[in-house]
A and B are shown apart, each in its own frame.
Chain A
Amino acid sequence: MILWWLGDIVLLFVVLPIVVYLLRGVLSTARGIVPHVQAIAAAAAAGSKDLDAVPLLLTTQDQIKRTVETIADYGGSLDVIVDDV
Chain B
Amino acid sequence: MPAAGVVLIIAVVLIIGALAVYLLPTIWALIQITKGLDQAIKGVGELIEKSAPVNPVVADINANLDAAVSALEGLLVKKAGLPDALGLIDGLYPGAAAEGLRDFPESKTITPPRISEVYTRGTLTLARLGREAPIAAASPEGPVLRHVARSEVATRALYPDLRQTRPEKLPPSPVIGTDAPVQYEQALTPGVRAHMPQRGAAVLDRPTGGSGEESSEAPPPPAAKRGGFLRWKQG
Contacts and interface: CB of A to CB of B under 8 A. Distances in A.
Interface of A: 1, 4-5, 7-8, 11-12, 15-16, 19-20, 23-24, 26-27, 30-31, 33-34, 37-38, 40-41, 43-45, 47-48, 51-52, 54, 57-58, 60-61, 64-65, 67-68, 71-72, 75, 78-79, 82-85
Interface in B88-140: 121-122, 125, 129
B129 A82 contact: yes
Chain B interface helix/strand/loop/mixed: helix
A68 to B, nearest CB: 5
Contact of B40 (A41, A54, A64): A41
Chain A interface helix/strand/loop/mixed: helix
B36 A34 contact: yes
Interface in B165-206: none
Contact of B65 (A40, A57, A68, A83): A68
A83 to B, nearest CB: 7
Contacts of A11: 8, 11-12, 15
A20 B22 contact: yes
Contacts of B23: 23
B4 A41 contact: no
21 contacts: A5-B4, A8-B11, A23-B23, A27-B26, A30-B29, A37-B32, A37-B33, A41-B36, A44-B42, A45-B42, A48-B46, A48-B47, A51-B46, A51-B51, A57-B54, A57-B57, A71-B72, A79-B75, A84-B78, A85-B79, A85-B84
A33 B121 CA distance: 71
Interface residues of B, number: 54
B33 A33 contact: yes
Interface of B: 2, 4-5, 7-8, 11-12, 14-15, 18-19, 21-23, 25-26, 29-30, 32-33, 36-37, 39-44, 46-47, 50-51, 53-54, 57-58, 60-61, 64-65, 67-68, 71-72, 75, 78-81, 84, 121-122, 125, 129
